[in-house]
């Protein structure tokens, strides 16, 4: 079980995360939605300390850290437990797909080359890229690059996978292959927090949806409750403008 309590963050006086609380069960897929600037990326980035929260705690099973007094060791331990997939893939351009997936296994988990290779090949196979192991990112499509990034994150066996708009930089025809790989990981029991503007994917994959507005969770519930029957005025407005933009 993952428990996030009282998470706050401001940037030069502007409150971006306002005392957020969230409990996540093992195997649960939580989708975080909200307008641009609501604080979704800041939330994910704060969890693995890519941003420095002003206050708050995160507990993952028996491991608990207080962000206001986190040590270097705890930061490393936290990053081993949380893997992130970014909108822009963030692959090492000078390494093959296989080496990109192996990197964390060798450097962070200190596995032997042989063990790391075995795991990396297995993870690339799961996202359908066995035939691209030796390709460099520049020779991969956006969808393939994002599946390598997903394989790299999953290879670390994270307690929670953090996905920040993983398909929004892709050409529309490449979205499906990445969504399928994410849905496969969800089916296999991977706990995740997904930030997405793609409501049909959110409805398909999420167990719980949170609507974030100005750094606060305004409303949470099942995808059907939040997407089809929002109760709060702000959530209703969000979907009204969402429909004008996307549908
Ligand atoms: N490094 C930073 N320095 C200053 N302000 C920042 C920084 N990062 C984010 N912000 C501000 O914090 C707020 C929340 O940004 P964030 O990127 O978390 O929003 P978001 O919900 O992910 O939006 P989007 O849907 O556009 O990705 C915004 O007002 C943004 O300008
Ligand atoms: Mg964002």
Instruction: Supply the CATH number for residue 221's domain.
Output: 3.40.50.300
Do the domain assignments include residue 150? no
- The confidence score (pLDDT) of residue 219 equals 96
Do the domain assignments include residue 185? yes
Whether 13 is in the pocket of ligand 1, judged by its Cβ within 6 Å, is no
Do the domain assignments include residue 191? yes
Do the domain assignments include residue 94? no
Q: Which domain holds residue 219?
A: 2-88+160-246
Rounded distance from Cα 89 to ligand 2 centre (Å): 14
| CA neighbor of 224 nearest in space, from 196, 203, 245, 198 | 203
Do the domain assignments include residue 173? yes
Mean pLDDT of 5-26: 96
Do the domain assignments include residue 130? no
- The confidence score (pLDDT) of residue 120 equals 98
Do the domain assignments include residue 102? no
Query: Is there a contact between 16 and 56 (Cβ–Cβ < 8 Å)?
Result: no
Ligand located closest to 38 CA: 1
- The confidence score (pLDDT) of residue 243 equals 76
Do the domain assignments include residue 141? no
C-alpha dist (Å) from residue 84 to 31, 78, 110, 129: 14, 12, 19, 20
**pLDDT over 70, % of the chain:** 99
- The confidence score (pLDDT) of residue 247 equals 61
How far apart are alpha carbons 34 and 239 in whole angstroms? 9
Mean pLDDT of 58-70: 96
Rounded distance from Cα 43 to ligand 1 centre (Å): 9
Ligand located closest to 36 CA: 1
Q: How many domains does the chain have?
A: 1
Please say if the pLDDT value at position 246 is more than 80: no
Q: Whose CA is nearest to atom 26 of ligand 1?
A: 36
């Amino acid at each position: 079980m993952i428990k996030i309590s009282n998470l706050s963050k401001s940037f030069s006086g502007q409150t971006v995360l306002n005392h957020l609380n969230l409990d996540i069960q093992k195997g649960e897929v939580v989708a975080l939605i909200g307008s641009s600037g609501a604080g979704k990326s800041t939330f994910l980035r704060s969890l693995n300390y890519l941003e420095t929260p002003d206050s708050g705690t995160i507990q993952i099973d028996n491991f608990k850290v207080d962000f206001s007094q986190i040590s270097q060791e705890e930061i490393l331990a936290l990053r081993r437990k949380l893997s992130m997939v970014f909108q822009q893939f963030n692959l090492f351009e000078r390494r093959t797909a296989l080496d990109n997936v192996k990197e964390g296994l060798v450097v962070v988990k200190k596995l032997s080359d042989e063990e790391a290779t075995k795991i990396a090949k297995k993870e690339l196979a799961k996202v359908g890229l066995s035939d691209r192991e030796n390709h460099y990112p520049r020779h991969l499509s956006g969808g393939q690059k994002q599946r390598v990034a997903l394989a790299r994150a999953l290879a670390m066996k994270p307690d929670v996978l953090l996905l920040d708009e993983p398909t929004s930089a892709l050409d529309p025809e490449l979205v499906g292959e990445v969504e399928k790989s994410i849905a496969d990981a969800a089916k296999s029991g991977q706990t995740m927090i997904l930030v997405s503007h793609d409501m049909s994917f959110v409805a398909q994959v999420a167990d719980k949806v949170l609507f974030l507005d100005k750094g606060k969770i305004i409303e949470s519930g099942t995808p059907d409750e939040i997407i089809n029957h929002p109760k709060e005025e702000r959530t209703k407005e969000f979907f009204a403008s969402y429909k004008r933009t996307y549908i």
